[in-house]
């Protein structure tokens, strides 16, 4: 289980549509902002990398001290980004795939505008449950 992990879903237009801190360690106040800053800085790298491969899971694209950024890009160029300190590649891949399915189901809702924030508490609950299961 990762001690720190920050999960963000970023839309095609580089706007975060969902964020969650899913680690178990005690939080410092500025940790959350630092995590978001690191993930934001990794977006450039992801953009270049996304066009070189047709796979969706991009493994780890960036490092910061001992934290690693792993990214999963969907067909619609929505990026699922995870900042973590563990090495559990398989668990992270399964986590991304399950969240991807949840995202598709959210997208199929005709009342959901693609690219807008995901506010459903059910979605939030399920993502955190998945994080506990796989990370």
Number of residues that bind another protein (CB under 8 A): 31
- Cβ–Cβ < 8 Å for 49, 62: no
Complex with another protein: residue 86 or 106, whichever CB lies closer? 106
Q: How many CA atoms, within 13 angstroms, populate the side-chain half-sphere of residue 92?
A: 25
Q: Which residues pair with 68 in a beta bridge?
A: 63, 84
When asked if residue 52 is in the footprint of another protein (CB under 8 A), the reply is yes
When asked if residue 108 is in the footprint of another protein (CB under 8 A), the reply is yes
Q: How far apart are CA 91 and CA 12, in angstroms?
A: 25
Q: How far apart are CA 45 and CA 108, in angstroms?
A: 29
Complex with another protein: residue 31 or 128, whichever CB lies closer? 128
Contacts of 19 (CB under 8 A, 6+ apart): 6, 7, 8, 9, 36
* Interface region with another protein, contact rule CB under 8 A, candidates 18-26, 35-43, 62-70, 105-113: 105-113
Closest CB 75 distance from another protein, rounded Å: 3
Among 40, 106, 117, 128, binds another protein (CB under 8 A): 106
- Note the residues at the interface with another protein (CB under 8 A): 12, 50-56, 73-78, 97, 100-110, 114, 120, 122-123, 126
């Amino acid at each position: 289980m990762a001690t720190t992990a920050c999960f963000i879903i970023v839309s095609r237009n580089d706007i975060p549509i969902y964020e969650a801190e899913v680690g178990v360690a005690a939080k410092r106040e500025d940790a959350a902002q630092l995590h978001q800053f690191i993930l934001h800085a990794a977006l450039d790298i992801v953009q270049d990398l996304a066009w070189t491969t047709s796979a969706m899971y991009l493994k780890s694209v960036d490092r910061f001290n001992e934290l690693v950024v792993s990214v999963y890009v969907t067909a619609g160029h929505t990026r699922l980004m995870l900042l973590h300190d563990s090495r559990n590649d398989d668990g992270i891949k399964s986590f991304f795939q399950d969240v991807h399915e949840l995202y598709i189901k959210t997208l199929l809702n005709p009342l959901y505008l693609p690219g807008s924030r995901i506010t459903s508490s059910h979605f939030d609950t399920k993502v955190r449950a998945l994080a506990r299961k796989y990370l």
